[in-house]
Amino acid sequence: MAAKSALPFSVGDELTVRFETMAASGAGKGTPEGMAVGECSVFTDRAAPGDVARVRVTGIKKRFVNADLVEVIEPGPDRVAAPCPVFETCGSCHWQHLTYDAQLAQKHEVASYQLKRLIDDPSILTPVAPSPSPLGYRVRGELTAVRTGATIRLGFRRHRSHDLIQVERCPLFLPGLADRFDAIARALVDRGLAEDQPYRVRIFLDEATGRIALAAESHERASYPDVAMVVIDGDGRLVENPELDERPFSMAVDGRTIRFHPHCFTQINPAVNERLVADAVETVAPEKGLRVLELYSGIGNFSIPLAARGAKVLAVESSPVSHPWAEKNAAEHGPLPITHDGRDAFQACRGLLENDATYDVVFTDPPRVGMGPMVSEIVSLFEARRIVYVSCHPQNLVRDGLILRAHGYHPTQIRLYDMFPQTFHMESLAVFEKF
């Protein structure tokens, strides 16, 4: 049974709150007027540090309260007018009301707090490397589409709701996508979308040619058929059944072009990815013959730069879509000393361990859920002198990092990157060394 709250509030009460900081959830965190900091925390989306604001209580826990913003009475020094007209209601981004410098500072503060359990020395955490473009950086993303008659409405889910917020553009995307929502909506006409049902539309930009790939699936997947991928060509022509094996999408990484099917995972922010790859190379310190086990290797974003500098890479990637592209990319830029393994990371690690394999470095870049306890346990057993862990989820990095630490791998640097400006999400690269 939930503990009864001793806080003197009820749902629906209006409070005046002074906000101090941003929380890991993306909400502003503050204290009600008349209470001491720490006595009761109030969490409110779209509040900013330094704001004094009126809020309405929506939920009460033992020591904190969730509340909606009613009115900003005194804006804090970091508050700015959001560049997007639908920011207040759209559920897609969270921090457009903060200056970019404040976003970076708050991400650092949130990461310091979240990583406390893993690191003893806070100075190993770098400042957050900014995105060269705080807007107009996304090369792919997800929209919501609803068909009514012959009209397709395109946009995002409303903040904390399933309703659609219709938009004409989104400033987070690169211009080649941001300014093409009209064309994307037109491409979805007559494609069999069920009436008045929300569809998840995945969009991808090929920066080199201006082509856009899109595919859609019903939010209730079982009920309605998916919409197969189509491509809007650079000149606006719609290409049905696009031959993506012959004309794949591409991105520039480390001075090379790597190719892929739009269903493959690629990093969302190409400019920050360049920095991440350069730092991966620096921290792995590849040299001829260095034995690297790379887990969750995708289409070769890190494998190719590492192998091109002499490292002998075993690249493990289980996606049947990405794995062949990793092989093609390595061949195109090769010969490179990369061996590809299409097994699941755990199965691959277990098999390698059974054969007494050892590595100099383990490099890992798992999905948001992290490696998980089983893979974290097993990667500690390859006698590597260093484990480099790329993560977009600090809590899962802490969970896995504590397992590595229990096996003698201590975090020696954690580099932070603003891969996702205007949102509370962040990317990190952690180096664990055995001593």
Ligand X SMILES: C[S@@+](CC[C@H](N)C(=O)[O-])C[C@H]1O[C@@H](n2cnc3c(N)ncnc32)[C@H](O)[C@@H]1O
Active-site positions?
Answer: 392, 427
Strand partners, 399: none
Beta-carbon contacts of 190 under 8 Å, excluding residues fewer than 6 positions away, are: none
31 vs 269, beta carbon nearer ligand X: 269
User: Of 80-88, 225-233, 262-270, 285-293, which part binds ligand X (CB under 6 A)?
Assistant: 262-270
Shortest distance, position 417 Cβ to ligand X, whole Å: 12
Assess 267 for contact with ligand X (CB under 6 A): yes
Assess 376 for contact with ligand X (CB under 6 A): no
Shortest distance, position 21 Cβ to ligand X, whole Å: 28
- Amino acid identity at 104: L
Shortest distance, position 304 Cβ to ligand X, whole Å: 11
Q: Are 23 and 111 in contact (CB under 8 A)?
A: no
Assess 279 for contact with ligand X (CB under 6 A): no
Residue located via tokens 């020395």? 121
Shortest distance, position 240 Cβ to ligand X, whole Å: 27
CA dist 300 and 307 (Å) reads 10
**SS3 assignment for 143-201:** EEEEEECCEEEEEEEECCCCCEEECCCCCCECHHHHCCHHHHHHHCCCCCCCECCEEEE
Assess 316 for contact with ligand X (CB under 6 A): yes
Q: SS3 helix, strand, coil % of the chain, rounded to 5?
A: 20, 35, 45
Q: Which of residues 136-155 bind ligand X (CB under 6 A)?
A: none
Shortest distance, position 319 Cβ to ligand X, whole Å: 3
Q: Which residue minimizes CB distance to ligand X?
A: 298
Q: Are 46 and 89 in contact (CB under 8 A)?
A: no
Out of 175, 344, 351, 395, point to the residue binding ligand X (CB under 6 A): 344
Per DSSP bridges, beta strands 28-32 and 14-22 are: antiparallel
Assess 328 for contact with ligand X (CB under 6 A): no
User: Of 127-135, 164-172, 240-248, 312-320, which part binds ligand X (CB under 6 A)?
Assistant: 312-320
Shortest distance, position 401 Cβ to ligand X, whole Å: 17
Out of 31, 66, 92, 301, point to the residue binding ligand X (CB under 6 A): 301
Out of 173, 204, 260, 296, point to the residue binding ligand X (CB under 6 A): 296
CA dist 313 and 316 (Å) reads 9
User: Of 106-114, 125-133, 152-160, 311-319, which part binds ligand X (CB under 6 A)?
Assistant: 311-319
User: Of 33-41, 46-54, 313-321, 426-434, which part binds ligand X (CB under 6 A)?
Assistant: 313-321
Q: Are 150 and 277 in contact (CB under 8 A)?
A: no
Assess 322 for contact with ligand X (CB under 6 A): yes
CA dist 362 and 406 (Å) reads 17
144 vs 266, beta carbon nearer ligand X: 266
Shortest distance, position 253 Cβ to ligand X, whole Å: 9
Shortest distance, position 360 Cβ to ligand X, whole Å: 19
Assess 106 for contact with ligand X (CB under 6 A): no
Assess 298 for contact with ligand X (CB under 6 A): yes
Shortest distance, position 313 Cβ to ligand X, whole Å: 12
Q: Which of residues 350-369 bind ligand X (CB under 6 A)?
A: 365-367
Assess 302 for contact with ligand X (CB under 6 A): yes
Out of 66, 266, 269, 422, point to the residue binding ligand X (CB under 6 A): 266
Per DSSP bridges, beta strands 291-295 and 361-364 are: parallel
Beta-carbon contacts of 197 under 8 Å, excluding residues fewer than 6 positions away, are: 146, 147, 218, 219, 220, 223, 224
Beta-carbon contacts of 8 under 8 Å, excluding residues fewer than 6 positions away, are: none
Assess 43 for contact with ligand X (CB under 6 A): no
- Amino acid identity at 366: P
Out of 154, 345, 397, 426, point to the residue binding ligand X (CB under 6 A): 345
Assess 95 for contact with ligand X (CB under 6 A): no
CA distances from 31 to 43, 108, 147, 155 (A): 9, 21, 44, 35
Q: Which of residues 224-243 bind ligand X (CB under 6 A)?
A: none
224 vs 265, beta carbon nearer ligand X: 265
Assess 265 for contact with ligand X (CB under 6 A): yes
* CB burial readout 315-327, b (16+ within 10 A) else e: bbbbbeebbbbbb
Q: Are 242 and 178 in contact (CB under 8 A)?
A: no
User: Of 151-159, 196-204, 293-301, 427-435, which part binds ligand X (CB under 6 A)?
Assistant: 293-301
Strand partners, 341: 316
Give residues in contact with ligand X (CB under 6 A). 265-267, 296-298, 301-302, 316-319, 322, 344-345, 365-367
